[in-house]
Chain A
Amino acid sequence: MTSPTAINIHRLKRLPGWTIKQLALILLSLLTLFPLYFMATNSFKMREEFFKNLLGLPQTPVFENFTKILQHPNLGRWFANSILLTVGSVILCTVIAILAAYAFAQMRFPGRDTLFNLITPLMVIPPIVMVIPMFVLFRQFHLVNNLGGPLIIYAGLMLPFTIYLLRNFFVTIPREIQEAALMDGCTGFQILTKIYLPLSRPALVTSIIVNAVWVWNELLIALVFLQTEELRTLIVGITTSLQKRFTLDVPSLMAGLTVATLPMIILYIVGQNTLVRGLVAGYEK
């Protein structure tokens, strides 16, 4: 007698190769989506149902968990803090990186390549290494428990990657365009704003999305530098306060996680194509 598994394997062998390949990819997709499915479906269940029905769709979807989460006294503030930190640090970093990348890509000056080659490897320095000295320094300048502190650190930490990505894009812009603009009487700064920036949209979009995702999701620095309940970012608030408060109320916790994740999923859906292409280009070149 053959066991059911043996029959399955036998059948699989006779199937054309693409079926096995499809099955492998479907399995990978299920594995990728499962945690999201778990998070989303359980945030619509009642507590009692959660224990009885871990895997299935909610029998009677309820929005109670979301109302409970949205009524949390600090949620609005956390959300505002995250938005402020993300937008502020990404703008600061992007502006500074554009100026530096332009100099690296288009100007000739002594030490240019050495300097550029010193900046790029900074990407791999572990952030925890910077945390102790920055914490002591920022405490003296009242930048601990102040959104300005992490804003500066985030902008700085993102800088090497952003300069690297933008500079590599800027060098692909033909020099002739620049020369033509000079003939027309454009200044260096006008060339940057009128020619380079419009032409560099894909690289700018990529770096902005990558950086925004990183800041929004960051834990360590936000945890160390923003220690009061009102100053937390959404991710830190949800993982520290909500995780403790709702240990027994998993559906509400899942609703909180869903709320915190939604902006990034939306950002991904909107910028997906540019992001994937630009990011890979940034790493491989």
Chain B
Amino acid sequence: MNRSFQSKLTPYLYLSPAILLIILVFVYPVIDLFRRSLTRVANGVTTWTGLVAYQNALQDPIFWTSFTNNLRLFISVPILVLLSLVFSSLIFERIRGWRFYRSLVFIPYVLAIPVVGIVFSYILQANGVFNLILRSVGLEALRREWLGSSATAIWAIMFVVIWKELGFGIVLFLARMSSISEELFDAAKLDGAGWWQQMIYVTIPQMTTVIEFYIIVNMITMLSWVFAYVLVMTKGGPGNSTWVLEYFIYQKAFPYSQMQIASAAAVLLLIFAMILMFLQARLRRQVEGVEI
């Protein structure tokens, strides 16, 4: 066999299992989903339906409830950024016990969402620990069934998502902070800058790219990775008040067997995710340009 031909083929040989698996798990499903959303199969006959399924999805008020809930969850993004910034800079100061804090804050990351969800659903019950604590600090008036009332359920879920996601932000920001030149902080201190001033004038400007990156990662999480929280903590309830897009697609596809509407909704979710992905790819290129 021709040696140069062989060596030209080698890279593709190494890549072929990966490419095959990616086609099976990513490429084929996306193409099939588009096809499925535009056609209806009845009695073995496939008919082209155009955008009817999209219309059905978009006219369904629950679709909009679900989408709105995803948008509500986006509110956790600035909260996560702020908390990550504050706590990572506290740990960064090598405060006594910083190593301990660093490994501790990361624990929620390795826990299963279903486990976390069940534990919190007992903590947030009407006669649960959270209300007990509220009563003991004299805030009895705030007592309620946090996951059981449609006014608070999605926010209670958001609280749990923040609890689970915060550790990653702290550790990520901490890593970036460690590479900021010491001289910048020393210069700021010489100029008499306090803790907040150092934060605003030194830390944050040095970290813009990683902060932007973290924002996009979290937006993707709030759009595409919240299914398990909803299923375990509220099953979408009370009423439909905590449905999110993933839950809408799951419900339409499996319990309701409305595969076509589910496929159309899935395509719409994919489009939202792609917009975020595009933003992320642009930021990633910027992040790569900077030494982190």
A residues bordering B, Cβ < 8 Å?
17-18, 21-22, 24-25, 28-29, 31-36, 38-39, 54-55, 95-97, 99-100, 102-104, 107-109, 112, 115, 117, 119, 121-122, 124-137, 152-153, 155-157, 159-160, 163, 188, 213, 216-217, 219-220, 223-224, 235-236, 238-239, 243, 250, 253-254, 257, 260-261, 264-265, 267-268, 272, 276-277, 279-281, 283-285
Interface residues on B, range: 35 or more
Are A280 and B224 within 8 A (Cβ)?
no
Are A54 and B11 within 8 A (Cβ)?
no
Smallest CB separation, A51 vs chain B (Å): 8
Q: Which of these binds chain A: B53-61, B169-177, B183-191?
A: B169-177
Are A35 and B28 within 8 A (Cβ)?
no
Known: A220-B250, A276-B103. A38 touches B26 (CB 8 A): no
Smallest CB separation, B37 vs chain A (Å): 10
Are B18 and A99 within 8 A (Cβ)?
yes
Known: A129-B269, A224-B254, A284-B175. A159 touches B120 (CB 8 A): no
8 residue pairs A–B, Cβ–Cβ below 8 Å: A36-B111, A54-B132, A107-B14, A129-B30, A220-B250, A243-B232, A257-B118, A267-B110
Contact partner of A268 (CB less than 8 A), chosen from B24, B105, B110, B122, is: B110
Residue in chain A with minimal CB distance to B259: A132
Known: A217-B111, A261-B111, A284-B176. A24 touches B90 (CB 8 A): yes
Smallest CB separation, B8 vs chain A (Å): 7
Are A133 and B277 within 8 A (Cβ)?
no
Are A29 and B288 within 8 A (Cβ)?
no
Smallest CB separation, A101 vs chain B (Å): 9
Known: A125-B270, A276-B103, A284-B176. A22 touches B95 (CB 8 A): yes
Are B253 and A131 within 8 A (Cβ)?
yes
Determine whether B108 belongs to the interface, using a CB cutoff of 8 Å to chain A. Answer: yes
Are B36 and A21 within 8 A (Cβ)?
no
Q: Label chain A's interface by main secondary structure.
A: helix
Are B172 and A280 within 8 A (Cβ)?
yes
B residues 252-287 near A (Cβ < 8 Å) are: 253-254, 259, 262-263, 266-267, 269-270, 273, 276-277, 280-281, 287
B residues bordering A, Cβ < 8 Å?
8, 10-12, 14-15, 17-19, 21-22, 24-26, 28-30, 32-33, 36, 86-87, 90-91, 93, 95-97, 101-120, 122-123, 128-129, 132, 163, 167, 171-172, 174-176, 195, 210, 213, 217, 220, 223-225, 227-228, 231-232, 246, 249-250, 253-254, 259, 262-263, 266-267, 269-270, 273, 276-277, 280-281, 287-288, 292
Q: How far is the CA of A156 from the CA of B30 in the complex (A)?
A: 14
Known: A29-B104, A35-B163. 13 other contacts (CB 8 A): A107-B14, A119-B18, A125-B30, A128-B250, A129-B273, A132-B262, A159-B21, A188-B10, A235-B114, A267-B110, A268-B107, A284-B176, A284-B213
Q: How far is the CA of A285 from the CA of B93 in the complex (A)?
A: 24
Are B175 and A129 within 8 A (Cβ)?
no
Are A284 and B22 within 8 A (Cβ)?
no
Are B119 and A35 within 8 A (Cβ)?
yes
Are B105 and A32 within 8 A (Cβ)?
yes
Query: Chain A residues near B273 (CB, 8 Å)?
Result: 124-126, 129
Q: How far is the CA of A80 from the CA of B128 in the complex (A)?
A: 34
Are B22 and A119 within 8 A (Cβ)?
yes
Known: A134-B29, A268-B110. A54 touches B128 (CB 8 A): yes
Q: How far is the CA of A276 from the CA of B91 in the complex (A)?
A: 15
Are A276 and B171 within 8 A (Cβ)?
yes
Residue in chain B with minimal CB distance to A280: B175
Are B122 and A153 within 8 A (Cβ)?
no
Residue in chain B with minimal CB distance to A93: B21
Known: A128-B246, A128-B266. A103 touches B28 (CB 8 A): no
Taking each of A126, A220, A283, which has the highest tally of chain B beta carbons within 10 Å of its own beta carbon?
A: A126
Are A99 and B15 within 8 A (Cβ)?
yes
Are B11 and A285 within 8 A (Cβ)?
no
Query: Chain A residues near B10 (CB, 8 Å)?
Result: 103, 107, 188
